[in-house]
Structure formats: C-alpha cells, structure tokens
A = this chain, B = another copy of it.
Amino acid sequence: MAEGMSEPASEVTASEVTDPARFLRDHGPAALEWAASYLERVGSLPVLAQIEPGELTSKLPAAAPEQGESFDAVLRDLDEILMPGITHWQHPRYFAYFPSATSGPAILADMLAVTINTVSFLWRSSPAATELEAVVLAWVAQLMGLPAGWHGQIEAGGSLATMTAAIAAREATGRNLLVCSAETHSSAAKAARMLGMELRTVPVDGDGALSVDALGSLGDAAIVVATVGTTSRGAVDPVPAIADACEAAGAWLHIDAAYAGAAMVCPEMRWAFAGVERADSLLVNAHKWMLTPIDCSLLWTSRPDAFLNAFSMVPEYLRTPAFEDQWSPHEYGPALGRGFRALKLWAVLRCYGRDGLRQHVRAGLEMAATFENWVAADAGWELVSPRRFGLVCFRHVGDDNFNEALLEAVNASGEAFLSHTVINGRYALRLATGGLLTTPADIDHTWKLLRGEAAALSF
C-alpha cells in the first residue's frame, strides 16, 4: 500500500487549496457524507482495531508528498489505511475506560470554530470565545445545581485541569503536599510529580472510597483531590467529611468528577455529589458523558483570585487597556493560546437542551443498571464492586487468568470493547455506558457475547 500511495496522485492546482471557500465547497460535501456515513456504519465495524503495533506506520510513506494532492486522496487513505487502525469510540458497543461521545451539533459547531480559528488569550483577541466560554460554563453550573458565581474555564484535558488546580492551591496555601486516595486517578499523583510536590496517598475503604479516618493531619496539605466516580470503579469519596477537614486545616479542596460529574445534570443523582458545593475547584469532562468531543474539560473555581495569583503574567506584548484586563483568559491557567472550544459545548446545550442531556445520562444509567442486574442474577458471574453511575465492574467465576483471557477474547471478537481494573486484588472487567449510539440492544448483545466467550473458554 505504501507503494500505491507513491503513485502519481491526483495533484491539485495551487488555486484549489489556496482558495479555502472553493476547497470547502468542492470537498466539503464528500467529507460531510463520510462523517454521516461513518456514524451510520460504525456499529458494523470491529470496535477494537484489529491491527498490530507498527502495521499502520509500515503502510504510510516516509515523507510528505512534494506536490499537493486532492482531498479525495486523503479520504481514500483514511478508508484504506487508517480505518483498520481506528478503535471506534463511537461504536455502540464501546464500553472501555470511559465514554467520549461526540454528537451532531458538536461536530458542526466545531467545524465552524476551526474555520473561524480565533485564539483566546486576551479578551480582545477573541471577545466572543472569551465571553461565550464564561456563559456556557455558567449554564452548565446552573444545570448541575452548582453554586452561582463560580469562575468557569475550559482546559485541554482532565489531567491538565487537576494540575492547574494543584498549582493554584500551592500558590494559595504556600504548602507543597498533595493528598489523594489510593484510587484517585493517576493524574493527581502525576501532577504532584510534575510539579515537584510531595504526595500522600490515603487508603480506601472496601468500596474504594477515601477513608476519612486515615486522612491524618492536613496541616501541611496544599490540596486534597477528592473524587466523585473514580476511574477504577466509580467510587465516591466522602466529600462532606473531606471538606470539613480541608476547611479546618486551610487546605484546598479539588473535586475530580471528570467522568461522573455529568450525572449532576439529573437532580435525582445529586445525592452522590453532596459537598461538592464546598470545593475550591471542580473538574467535569464534558468530553466524556456530555456529548461534546475531546478536548473539553470544564474547570470551575470558587476562588478565581487564587488562579489569578498563580497564573497571571503579562508581558508588554500582551498588555491591553485596563477595562479589558479582567477578562484575560490566559491569566487563569497554564495555557496562553486557546481555541474556540466553547462553541461546540454551546451547540450541544442548545440542540439537546437541558432535557436532552438529562435523557442521555439517564439512558446510560439505566443500561448499566440493567447489565448489573443480569450479572447479579447469574450464578456464573459476580459483581466485583457495586455499580456506580454508568460503570459496572464484574467478573466470571474462575481465577484472574480466566477473566483476563475472557476480556481479550471479547475484545478480539470486535463485537464489543471493554477494559479492566483490579479491585481489592481481584481482576475485574469494566463496562462503562454513556456512548452516543448505545442502545439497550447493545447491552443485550454484549451480555450474550460475554456469556458465549466465557462458555467457549470454560469448555
């Protein structure tokens, strides 16, 4: 195939690519149809890419072409070369890690954002992006029942958002210790390591929640990272008690609700988020369960002045008149230039509405509950941990090796994709709902697939 690619390709005239409006009119319809068709047929493709490491690289040429080619060639190679190497996160039976659902409104709005391609670091460099970001973060905060008046911003990812909070906390407290649980997402420990902070890991209870009894003194703590919905098993740390301890010790409380936070759109789920209103900072990844493609990590803070103290640095070439200064996004985080990420989230909120987002979350919760019930009712299977949100951790009777082989067999089938964890020393399969296209029939299909593969392995 590499040879095929080096054949004289359909070269383009310079005018075609340098006239972007013409380019979009000439090639946009085919690209759009590719996208629509992809979302129609993705369910018929193998979820987990069925290639070997290095296989795709070997099919690509060693250099970019000297002369420009037609976008037709890009679409052709996307189909012929890249597609076999894509793990399909939008497949209705993608259940691994956590979901990252795209959606129609987000796809189109992001295309417009990339067309406008405004860069927001100062208010004047992008007033619309700057103000819309604040507005949609306020909309989401209200939809989630969070306190009014928090400062919201979009960061490039959850790991970066937690690191951002840790930097603000260190600056605000003058302390250098990050505290989290043994099951906090690795991004917290990674932030401590990257920032040169000390790390204290607090043990968890049998359900994976931070043990408050083991929290110890927070007198040296800059920040405690508490999680609602841990990555391994969706555990919920006891936020109210942690907030009490932080408040008493003057430590910063950061809530990592990267995955589960979307469930706050449903009032009936807010019990799981008790105490988050006391956070100094809160992270929810809209690019997980909120139909907004990556990157879109929502980071709120009740202490914007602490962010300003930590991140504001204004060289001469970024000075603007004082009445614009209060809006400068670059003074509130690690990044300078930032894309128009708010536009896709705005389109999702407009086109789904508050009701549509609730329906999407509820559908994921219900499908996970259904699956949990099937596992619980079958003597051949067991729940390794109680279901939390859309996440079910389970295993087949048998040892860890059996379950690891089971997972590999299921994933190799291409019919579904799940991931794994280890809970209290035991290997567990993880099934996380929340995809754009997942229906109850896909849960049923996957349950049958799991039982079939387990039977084949047991035989």
Contact = CB atoms under 8 A, between A and B. Distances in A.
A105 B36 contact: no
Interface residues of A, number: 154
Interface in A62-120: 62-71, 73-74, 77-78, 82-83, 85-90, 96-97, 100-112, 114-119
A456 interface: no
A206 to B, nearest CB: 17
Interface stretch (A21-29, A208-216, A239-247, A440-448): A21-29
Nearest to A193: B313
B294 A108 contact: no
Contacts of A22: 36, 104
A127 B53 contact: yes
A298 to B, nearest CB: 13
Q: Is the interface of A mostly helix, strand, loop or mixed?
A: helix
A115 B110 CA distance: 10
A106 to B, nearest CB: 7
A69 B351 contact: yes
A339 B293 contact: yes
A410 B5 CA distance: 49
B350 A64 contact: yes
B352 A24 contact: no
A29 to B, nearest CB: 7
B107 A125 contact: no
B101 A117 contact: yes
A49 interface: yes
Contacts of A102: 20, 114-115, 117
